[in-house]
Structure 1
Amino acid sequence: MSQVENDSIHAGFLLNRTSYDRSRHTEIVLWVVTDHGPSRLVIEGEQPVLFIHTDDQDKALLALQQAEIPCHHKSLSLKTFQQSPVTGLYFRTIDMAWQARRVFSDLAIIPFEADFRLHDRYLMEKFVNGGLEFIGTPTAFESYTEYRQVRIRPADYSPRFSVVSVDLECSERGQLYSVSLFGHGEKGDVESRVVMVGEPVECAEEYIQWVPDEKSLLLSLVDITALWDPDILIGWNVINFDFRLLVKRAALHGIKLNLGRGRQQVHWRDRRDESGQGFITIPGRMVVDGIDGLKSATWQFDSFSLEFVSQSLLGRGKDTEDVENRMAAINHDFRYNKPKLARYNLEDCKLVWEIFEKTRLLDYLRLRGQLTGLELDRQGGSVAAFTNLYLPRLHRAGYIAPNLPDGGGLASPGGYVMDSVPGLYRNVLVLDFKSLYPSIIRTFRIDPMGLIEGLQRPDEAIEGFLGARFSRDHHFLPDIIASLWQQRDEAKKERDDARSHALKIIMNSFYGVLGSGGCRFYDPRLASSITMRGHEIMQQTARWIEEEGHKVIYGDTDSIFVLLGDDISCDEADKTGKSLEAKVNRLWKQVVKDKFDLECFLELEYETLYTRFLMPTIRGAETGSKKRYAGIKRTGDGEKLIFKGLETVRSDWTQLAKSFQTELYEIVFADKSPENLIRQYVEKTLAGEVDDQLVYRKRLRRHLHEYVKNIPPQVRAARHADDKNRALGKSLCYQHKGWISYLITVAGPETVEYHANAIDYQHYIDKQLKPVAEGILPFIGMGFDQVIGTQQGLF
């Protein structure tokens, strides 16, 4: 290492952060990506703080003195939401603060904000999210620069991450066969490498690096990681499978898994619950799992297996999803065809890489970090994002945050869903309120501190629900929403879809946060003042539309469905939609001004026209359904068949039902008779011509032995399959949750791999075709049994 004379300001992006005690003081370590390479920022001497009621000060100080826990205290100009003054207790080390918490627990002294990690509080109070600028005293090391005496401030900085995709292959007992890497290599170009255990063989795969044993594989992985020096390692279930196994195998061989920058050791930590999940920390690098990242970005798939997602997004994937056969193939190839196994291993890396590129997942996670301070690898995190944004503002307004509610809080009312009017219609308009809940927060000043301030001066406040009163002037959340809203509008203009999507998710999460018992700002008056105001807005909007002579047939949270009738052209429908949009928005501005003396940010938009539309009944009843409909939607690219909540978009229905529903609805919406189609589907089913479409695919959501009272078909199929596996000496596939594919046979449910009995075709007619048909046939005066009545007797 060497000392560098440099006092210039540098910009960077946070990769990971931590804090710990060292030599009787604290250190906060921030790893950042900069234009000049990775940097390690060390902030020394920050003091952990606990806030307590000032009334408890003397008792607390005496108890700390008796326990020999040094601290200093300070009276603060802060107060609780109950208006009680607080004292700050400051400690030299994190461990001392933890000891104090244990002492206070025995004395029933309540510390506030005690659960914040030192580095998180430090970053929040500096308003530093993803990007930052820093200055400090640098020391150059081989692969990074370390800075001490550091000062930081927020900055808008977009990094260029170096990324490597990682995947490994192993035996069923966890013995490592190979590890593949694909991504930015030593010179920044995209490279491929597969480290394979075994004797070298002549082959065309020049990317294979041969090693004699598993220990050498692990050491080679450490060397390649140091050489390629990625900021981010990506993979599929990469944390709780690949890295968990790497950590275990390294421990087995008694070696350190030094994958961090400067060859620092990785740190593994298991969750304190029964999930079986864990956390990996690699100093100077971040591990991002594709499954967790896509879920955070609100991507939805029937299955999050790499095969299913890659087929859905890329149109290609693995050759098979069959676990038993795949394991057998891997074992066979490791013994007899290692180049083939290397190609297979590397292909998984490439699939993950391409999924990340296709979805711009790292762009989303980076933007989320810049906006909220969440780490790139953070799952979910809505509560943490809200807290990061809100807490430092709250402190500057003179309040400390409350602790989490006891018992998890009470449920708040959900979004408004009106009773639907079932029917088969022509020309249905859909009008949506743009970001309804954020616009309610912004319009009616809904805010945690605003609620406390409003209750102090109720006569001047804005009335909410459940006794809530909100201050007109003292609040933060409406302004945070306004800023995010403006940024989203700019992102839309610039066609920056990733940024727009990130902003939308963050804005829309705030209602859920305020209604969650896992949030320290939870208060039923907050969430109810959003949702119940939403009910009021939707109901009043429907009344205004009906006063214009139109019929509202359905409403759901922020959308209203308006029937125009048969004799109207598309141009006339568009004109009506725009007219209703303008009138409703004008009325809401007037009402909000007259009743509340507030500026209105509610905005109704004419969203689309369905030229044909079906609102079905609840199955087996005459009542209209909710959150279930279908229609022909007019788009800029022509007409498109849309299903909402029906069998076609549900993963627990067979492909037979989905294909049948699509074709059936297209025919009915085109005013053609569906009789021939129905008979053809029944005939093909009974003749065994569509057996490949009869597979059910469902998730086992519990361990197999936990199903006791209710034994659904997928569990029966799983138990039957694992009984077979046990008898054949094979590994059990279905004991620990996961997905299962099965058929219904005359002997009951059987998995695809152990399907031996004849398929129960009548089951599929009665349980797959008939329910789909009965959803629409009554509206054209037909019945399923009536159509196929004469045909059934032929088979």
Structure 2
Amino acid sequence: MASKTHTRIEGMLLDVQMHEHEGTSIVDVFLRTETGIERFHDIQFPPYFYITLVPNARTGEIVKQLQQETFPGGISLVDASIVKREGVEFIKMEFKRIPDLLAVRERIKSYPFVQELYEYNIPYTKRYLIDKRLTPYEPTLIEINPAREIVSISTKEKELAPPKLRMGAFDLEAYAPKKLPIPEKNPVISISIASPSGNKVFLPLAFTHADAMPGKSEVEMFQHFSDFCKLADLDVLFTYNGDRFDFPYLHARAKAINAPLDFGNGNVQIIGKGNESNARLHGIQHVDVYQLMRLLSRFAVFRSPKMDLGSVMQAVFGEGEKIISYKKINEIWETKKDLHLLVEYNLNDSLFTLRLGKEFLPLLMELSKLVQQPLYDVNRATSSQLVETMLIHESFVQQRIIPNPPTDEQVMHRTQNPIEGGFVKEPVAGLREDIAVLDFRSMYPSIMISHNISPDTLDCEHEACKKGKNVAPTGHWFCTKRKGLFTTVLERILDARIAVQSEMDSLPKKDPKLIVLKARKQALKIILNSFFGTLAYPRFRWYTRESARAITAFARHYIRETLDTAEKAGFEPIYGDTDSAFVHVSKGRTEKDVIAFVEKVNKSLPGRMEVEFEGFYVRGIFVTKKDKKEIHAAKKRYALADKNGELTIVGFEFVRRDWSQVARQTQKKVLEEVLAKGNPAGALKVVQETIKKLREGKIPKKELVVLTQLQRRPEKYAAIGPHVAAAMKAQKRGKEIEVGQLMGFIITQKGKSISDKAELEEFVEEGDYDAEYYIHHQLIPAVITILSELGYTEDDLKQGGKQTGLGAFG
């Protein structure tokens, strides 16, 4: 019950930040309440770390010594106390402020009674969310005193309804006579914002347009933009590459011209520099959609060969932005003609960014809730950081000490000792029919749960466990008497995923709850499937080589066992790949026989392990691979067609960005003819017609672009490949080239060598391409591996040749 002098306030937790005041580190808690975004302070959360003592040290006496100690700089502790974690005594050292903790952290290592430090590098605001057990974007209840200082804080019971967030996006255009604008010299010529309060483009000059707000100067434009941001009252502000460009540029330019800049709750904080910079707002969550799409592409949520806004829009929505070159923007600004094009282009970028942000925000929010960290942090996290954060939370709940991150020396040693991967049975190359594919559902996580694989259960002291069901093929064993940390978290995630699916199945198709549930299911899948990769990651706090090796060894065991069992049951094993088994279903047998076999296998599997009947395919092709010594079947390179003609393509050029579209699309058409239609002659015709069009100059340039990433500055390359040569030529024309950028180049007709002929797409006219290069180095290599399995040669592709039917294969 609240004190008479205390006030209870309920709101949605948006963010947790910190500041220093009068020698104390203070937590800033931002809530969205009925009156807007409000900031409250918690002054009663001292930063801390733990130490362990050398054997036979007198813990009580050392605690008293530390309580009375004055460290260099006049630093004294808020408190020192004894705590027990997993039966071991630790001393918890609490400080008034972060700088004090950092100074003493280095000093205390030299004390003779100190054996080790723990939890000394967990960020203060993350520590607060963990210790208070708070979940962002959930209803949060606080009790404050008259000074608006937090007396208590807690997350209320979770609700399924998506939080009602006010979302917007902004974008800017700068004058860039030398391509790369410099904020100290080059003005911002327009700022657009899309928000619930309206869509506006702010200009530093007089211009009449329905979406424009003119100004008398650049300074006034900044003022208008700041005023509008306050009016918009946003919870989430989207940008596209705002971390690296929009925010740093706007911040630096405002400072250079002494202009006001306020995004609704104050200015922006730029953390880091250049390509490592991040932009953080106060309370408002800055979601950089570019960073978000990179994160989601790593999780295979979506795919795009290029990550510019137009390409991502095309990949997600099937529509892209209308590009205006920087030269055209400069021309518009210099002549003050066609200003409407600048306004529309700038605003469209904000609208596109907002649309993308809204599309994927539910997934980002569910990830945020899952790891109990704000959107800002999750937006910029890696999969290993997300998993690690979950384990830190669980460790606190179970009162475990969190392991320290590895040293650089440990990381180097781990990197030099890679872990053997999953089992791959080499396929029999050629065209096959009637294929059943069996998949182990979440194989690595289910192995970890079923065999209790966790760093804290490895090689336990129990004699019974050394001969129990959790002895791995590697010889290591895992405890059967106590559940491990990893197992606890994984089992909870797997159970939650099953519960979400069950709830989804019970709802009508248009129920609004499905948006949240689909996002939650996907978030749970992402975290679930990230655990093994994180366990084997050299920089992971809980890295255990023996545990990771045990998981892959169990996986190889189970996939081999499944293939052997299938063969005994009369199914011919065709291929095995990590967590999948491919078998031939002979004539007279049906899908029902396969399902019955799967049910039998599942009865023999331990714990949460389960095989699924992934699908039945009428045809599949497995191709050969040539190396220096021999020709053999290629692993992880096959294509399948189901009874509806839908293709599954793995490892072929069609799924790779470093092949031209004409080669990839022709390859797909060939696979459709061979697998879906059973028409090898049609496949041959597709290739021959494409060759004819290439030689006639009828292939548009967008289908000829080859994408390759620039790994270093062009001048740093010893060997000048086509993408490097194209980048160098573009630089001479004034184009800014960055490391990590995807170079989209075309091999033109001008020049002697391939590198001589390479030019970036934007500098190539339609029809200017080397047809013979694309025929011999793109098209034929992409299809010959398929058609050679059907008896065709390169000469057949170029000239026409023998007619081949499917009857000869199978």
Place the TM-score, normalised by the shorter chain, in its bin.
Answer: 0.7 to 0.9
Alignment equivalent of 2:304, drawn from 273, 281, 301: 301
Q: Paired residue for 2:75?
A: 69
Q: Paired residue for 2:189?
A: 177
Q: Secondary structure at the match of 1:420?
A: coil
User: Quick check: 1:700–1:715 contact (8 Å CA) kept in 2?
Assistant: no
Alignment equivalent of 2:318, drawn from 315, 318, 330: 315
The one-letter amino acid of 2:133's match is: F
Alignment equivalent of 1:498, drawn from 491, 511, 519: 519
User: Quick check: 2:133–2:154 contact (8 Å CA) kept in 1?
Assistant: no
- Relative distance call for 1:550 and 1:619 in structure 2 (3 A) is same
Comparing 86-95 with 541-550, which one deviates more in the overlay? 86-95
Q: Secondary structure at the match of 2:658?
A: coil
CA offsets 1:118-170 (integer angstroms, 9 cap, x no match):
22112112322222532212779xxxxx5532322464144211001111111
User: Quick check: 2:670–2:684 contact (8 Å CA) kept in 1?
Assistant: no
- Relative distance call for 1:423 and 1:686 in structure 2 (3 A) is same
- Relative distance call for 1:195 and 1:623 in structure 2 (3 A) is same
Give the count of matched residue pairs: 740
- Relative distance call for 1:456 and 1:477 in structure 2 (3 A) is farther
CA offsets 1:509-538 (integer angstroms, 9 cap, x no match):
111221122221111122222222111111
- Relative distance call for 1:164 and 1:84 in structure 2 (3 A) is same
| 1:182 Cα deviation after fit | 0.8
- Relative distance call for 1:179 and 1:104 in structure 2 (3 A) is same
User: Quick check: 1:124–1:389 contact (8 Å CA) kept in 2?
Assistant: no
User: Quick check: 2:7–2:144 contact (8 Å CA) kept in 1?
Assistant: yes
| 1:63 Cα deviation after fit | 12
Comparing 706-715 with 283-292, which one deviates more in the overlay? 706-715
TM-score, normalised by the number of residues in structure 2: 0.85
Alignment equivalent of 2:748, drawn from 721, 724, 745: 745
Alignment pair present for 1:768 and 2:778:
yes
Alignment pair present for 1:31 and 2:12:
no
Q: Secondary structure at the match of 1:259?
A: coil
CA offsets 1:661-696 (integer angstroms, 9 cap, x no match):
122222223232133333222222112122535523
Q: Paired residue for 1:405?
A: 406
User: Quick check: 1:20–1:94 contact (8 Å CA) kept in 2?
Assistant: no
- Relative distance call for 1:119 and 1:751 in structure 2 (3 A) is closer
Alignment pair present for 1:562 and 2:583:
yes
Alignment pair present for 1:197 and 2:207:
no
- Relative distance call for 1:449 and 1:255 in structure 2 (3 A) is farther
Q: Secondary structure at the match of 2:287?
A: strand
Cα distance in 2, alignment partners of residues 395 and 666 from structure 1: 54
| 1:5 Cα deviation after fit | 7.3
Cα distance in 1, alignment partners of residues 169 and 600 from structure 2: 53
Q: Paired residue for 1:580?
A: 597
| 1:285 Cα deviation after fit | 0.4
CA offsets 1:185-244 (integer angstroms, 9 cap, x no match):
1xxxxx21111111233xxx3221111222112222211111111001012112211111
Cα distance in 2, alignment partners of residues 452 and 132 from structure 1: 43
Q: Secondary structure at the match of 1:292?
A: helix
User: Quick check: 2:667–2:782 contact (8 Å CA) kept in 1?
Assistant: yes
Comparing 29-38 with 233-242, which one deviates more in the overlay? 29-38
Cα distance in 2, alignment partners of residues 162 and 658 from structure 1: 42
Cα distance in 1, alignment partners of residues 684 and 385 from structure 2: 56
Q: Paired residue for 1:597?
A: none
Q: Paired residue for 2:808?
A: none
| 1:397 Cα deviation after fit | 4.4
Alignment pair present for 1:128 and 2:134:
yes
| 1:302 Cα deviation after fit | 0.7
Alignment equivalent of 1:99, drawn from 86, 100, 103: 103
Cα distance in 1, alignment partners of residues 800 and 490 from structure 2: 62
| 1:608 Cα deviation after fit | 1.1
Cα distance in 2, alignment partners of residues 384 and 553 from structure 1: 38
- Relative distance call for 1:758 and 1:184 in structure 2 (3 A) is closer
Q: Secondary structure at the match of 2:190?
A: strand
Cα distance in 2, alignment partners of residues 137 and 195 from structure 1: 40
Q: Secondary structure at the match of 1:516?
A: coil
Aligned positions of 1:516-531 closer than 5 A: 516-531=537-552
The one-letter amino acid of 2:104's match is: A
Cα distance in 2, alignment partners of residues 492 and 481 from structure 1: 17
Cα distance in 2, alignment partners of residues 336 and 64 from structure 1: 72
CA offsets 1:270-315 (integer angstroms, 9 cap, x no match):
16xxx62212221120110112222333332111111111122223
User: Quick check: 2:145–2:151 contact (8 Å CA) kept in 1?
Assistant: no
Aligned positions of 1:35-184 closer than 5 A: 37-55=36-54, 58=62, 61=66, 65-67=70-72, 68-71=74-77, 72-78=79-85, 85-104=89-108, 110-130=116-136, 131-137=138-144, 148-153=150-155, 155-157=157-159, 158-172=162-176, 173=181, 174-184=186-196
Cα distance in 1, alignment partners of residues 225 and 203 from structure 2: 11
Q: Paired residue for 2:422?
A: 415
Cα distance in 2, alignment partners of residues 563 and 373 from structure 1: 46
Cα distance in 2, alignment partners of residues 414 and 287 from structure 1: 38
Q: Paired residue for 2:572?
A: 551
The one-letter amino acid of 1:547's match is: K
The one-letter amino acid of 1:765's match is: I
The one-letter amino acid of 2:118's match is: F
User: Quick check: 1:427–1:573 contact (8 Å CA) kept in 2?
Assistant: no
Q: Secondary structure at the match of 1:212?
A: coil
- Relative distance call for 1:500 and 1:194 in structure 2 (3 A) is same
Alignment equivalent of 2:614, drawn from 582, 597, 607: 607
- Relative distance call for 1:294 and 1:705 in structure 2 (3 A) is closer
- Relative distance call for 1:460 and 1:69 in structure 2 (3 A) is farther
- Relative distance call for 1:62 and 1:285 in structure 2 (3 A) is closer
Cα distance in 2, alignment partners of residues 490 and 62 from structure 1: 49
- Relative distance call for 1:454 and 1:225 in structure 2 (3 A) is farther
Cα distance in 1, alignment partners of residues 189 and 389 from structure 2: 43
Alignment equivalent of 2:642, drawn from 604, 610, 633: 633
Q: Paired residue for 1:451?
A: 458
The one-letter amino acid of 1:289's match is: D
User: Quick check: 1:619–1:775 contact (8 Å CA) kept in 2?
Assistant: no
Q: Paired residue for 2:556?
A: 535
Q: Paired residue for 1:279?
A: 278
Aligned positions of 1:709-728 closer than 5 A: 709-723=718-732, 725=733
CA offsets 1:337-389 (integer angstroms, 9 cap, x no match):
222211111111111222234xx311111111111113212223433433433
Cα distance in 2, alignment partners of residues 180 and 452 from structure 1: 60
- Percent pairwise identity: 22
Alignment equivalent of 1:463, drawn from 445, 465, 471: 471
CA offsets 1:2-25 (integer angstroms, 9 cap, x no match):
x99774462423x22122332233
Alignment equivalent of 1:252, drawn from 241, 245, 256: 256
User: Quick check: 1:170–1:176 contact (8 Å CA) kept in 2?
Assistant: yes
Q: Secondary structure at the match of 2:476?
A: coil
User: Quick check: 2:67–2:80 contact (8 Å CA) kept in 1?
Assistant: no
Q: Secondary structure at the match of 2:741?
A: strand
Cα distance in 2, alignment partners of residues 576 and 585 from structure 1: 14
User: Quick check: 2:8–2:144 contact (8 Å CA) kept in 1?
Assistant: no
Comparing 171-180 with 149-158, which one deviates more in the overlay? 149-158
